[in-house]
Amino acid sequence: MVRAAVLPAVGSALRLAEIDLPAPGPGQVRVRLAAAGVCHSDLSLSNGTLKQPAPAVLGHEGAGTVTAVGPDVTAVAPGDRVVLNWAPSCGSCHFCGLGEVWLCANAGAAAAVPYARWEGGDLYPGLGTAAFAEETVVPAHAAIPLPEGIGLADGALLGCAVLTGWGAVHNAARVRAGESVAVFGVGGVGLAVLQAARIAGAGPIVAVDVSPAKEELALAAGATDFVLASDSAAKEIRRLTGGIGADVAIECVGRADTIRAAWSSTRRGGRTTVVGIGGQDQQVAFSALELFYFGRTLAGCVYGNSNPATDIPLIADHVRAGRFDLSSLVTDRIDLAGIPTAFEAMLAGQGGRALVVFE
């Protein structure tokens, strides 16, 4: 039996419970979690913004140690330290064939298959990983070896926030040295975006958030300026960029108003990248004339448009060299019982990343 935070039904409160976790089957591995980050996507899964069968164990940003492997598993072995990949690519669909593994048509397959038992019934793994538990069972290709020199607890952040933030800058927006960047939303992903933009040599780097308490976090991560979110935020960003607007705006919130503000803060011919996941009710409007006149590019960004197998080792090099600080993203270290409070803090726009620490 394994202790976990269970979502009994979509829209219900999490319950701490003991679940019956089976031994890994063919092509599966069992992982003892060291830590799991609390991501806004977990909140979206719990309230129905994102679809997830229930009852379920949420949590998709995690790292731990392999304790057992099923038949036919050769990539990892018991004792290996791994990062969980919530969107493992199949390698055979149309998108994988294009090299766009972050769009894999089969990446979410594991989330729809029961992986454990609870109260006599089937239990589903949130985003296929179920990291809000002491242990989990995942497909072997969802366990990425954690590079040497990276601590297990902070290494959990590589599974979502860091990979997404890094990829938004380097893969999706392709920020170049000397370009100005505006970052909307200073949560876990936004803080990773700021660090990645700094490493890319961007400047100025303007952070935007609803909470004035985020200014210190933003400046420490690499922002040169901080702007409090308001109707005049785009105007202030233009002022800070010589009246032109940011070369790149990266939206990490997933709301229509912040997407629109990010677009409006971008210069003519600039690039607006949307990382935040919003609901279907969040409709963004543009006039045909402004689309022509401004010549901006608006693009979505899935999982940082990243390939975890190659991007995680690259990011690890920056971590070991002291250029990327994983621990600075974490503003709260909690246990499983603290997840609901972390959700409330997200809704209130407070803090960076809350990290559930098991060891």
Summary mean pLDDT of the chain: 95
Contact assessment for residue 162 and residue 316, using Cβ atoms and an 8 Å cutoff = no
In whole angstroms, what is the distance from residue 116 CA to residue 125 CA? 8
Q: Is 319 part of any domain?
A: no
CA–CA distance, 10 with 191 (Å, rounded to integer): 29
How far apart CA 189 and CA 274 sit, in angstroms, is 12
Per-residue pLDDT, 346: 87
d(Cα 70, Cα 92) in Å, to the nearest integer? 22
User: What is the pLDDT averaged over residues 303-317?
Assistant: 95
88 vs 44: CA distance, rounded Å: 20
Instruction: Give tens-digit pLDDT for 236-258.
Output: 999 999 999 999 999 999 999 99
Same domain, 343 and 270: no
Residues 85 and 192 in one domain: no
The reported pLDDT for the residue numbered 296 is 96
- The number of distinct structural domains making up the chain is 2
State the pLDDT at residue 323: 96
pLDDT for position 110: 92
Kindly indicate the confidence band of residue 350, based on its pLDDT and cuts at 50, 70 and 90.
confident
Q: CA 191 → CA 165, 268, 325, distances in Å?
A: 8, 26, 10
Q: Rounded to whole angstroms, how far apart are CA atoms 266 and 268?
A: 7
Q: Name which of 195, 249, 196 is nearest 218 in CA terms.
A: 195
What does the pLDDT read at residue 349?
84
When pLDDT is averaged across residues 260-278 and rounded to a whole number, the result is 96
The yes-or-no verdict on residue 63 having pLDDT over 90 is: yes
pLDDT digit string, tens, across residues 102-158:
999 999 999 999 999 999 899 999 999 999 999 999 999 999 999 999 999 999 999
Q: How far apart are CA 316 and CA 111, in angstroms?
A: 28
Q: Stretch 286-305: mean pLDDT, rounded? A: 95
Of the pLDDT bands very low, low, confident and very high (cuts 50, 70, 90), residue 294 is very high
Looking at the structure, tell me whether residues 180 and 63 fall in a common domain: no
- The CA radius of gyration of the chain, in Å to the nearest whole number, is 20
Is there a single domain that holds both residue 141 and residue 106? yes
pLDDT exceeds cutoff 80 at 359: no
CATH of the domain at 267: 3.40.50.720
Range of the domain at 278: 165-302
Question: Is residue 10 a part of any domain in this protein?
Answer: yes
pLDDT band (50, 70, 90) for residue 263: very high
Q: Does 315 fall in a domain?
A: no
Instruction: Using the predicted structure, report yes or no on whether residue 310 has a pLDDT greater than 90.
Output: yes
Residue 197 reports pLDDT greater than 90: yes
| 352 pLDDT above the threshold of 90 | no
Q: What's the CA gap between 278 and 241, in Å, rounded? A: 28
Q: How far is CA 105 from the centre of its chain?
A: 19
Task: Report d(CA 314, CA 108) in Å as an integer.
Answer: 25
Q: Is residue 164 classed exposed, middle or buried when 0-12, 13-18 and 19+ CB atoms within 10 A define those classes? A: buried
Instruction: Quote the pLDDT of residue 280.
Output: 85
Which residues sit opposite 84 in a β-bridge? 143
> Are residues 295 and 172 located together in one domain of the fold?
yes
Q: Do 151 and 180 share a structural domain?
A: no
Within a domain: residue 11? yes
- CA nearest 42: which of 29, 59, 18? 59
pLDDT over threshold 90, residue 164: yes
**Predicted pLDDT at 106:** 95
- 189 & 100 share domain: no
- 312 domain residue, yes or no: no
State the pLDDT at residue 351. 82
Same domain, residue pair 149 and 8: yes
Q: What is the pLDDT of residues 15-44, one digit of tens each?
A: 999 999 999 999 999 999 999 999 999 999
Q: Which helix or strand (DSSP H or E) is residue 33 part of? A: strand 28-38
Inside any domain, residue 310? no
CATH of the domain at 62: 3.90.180.10
Residues 56 and 131 in one domain: yes
Q: Does residue 56 carry a pLDDT above 90?
A: yes
| Residue 179 sits in the same domain as residue 293 | yes
Percent of the chain's residues with pLDDT above 70: 100
Q: How much is the pLDDT for 126? A: 94
Query: Are 57 and 104 in a shared domain?
Result: yes
88 falls in which pLDDT band (50, 70, 90)? very high
Examine residue 242 and state whether it is found in any structural domain, yes or no.
Answer: yes
User: Encoding tokens for residue 222?
Assistant: 């690499």
Residues 141, 216, single domain; the answer is no
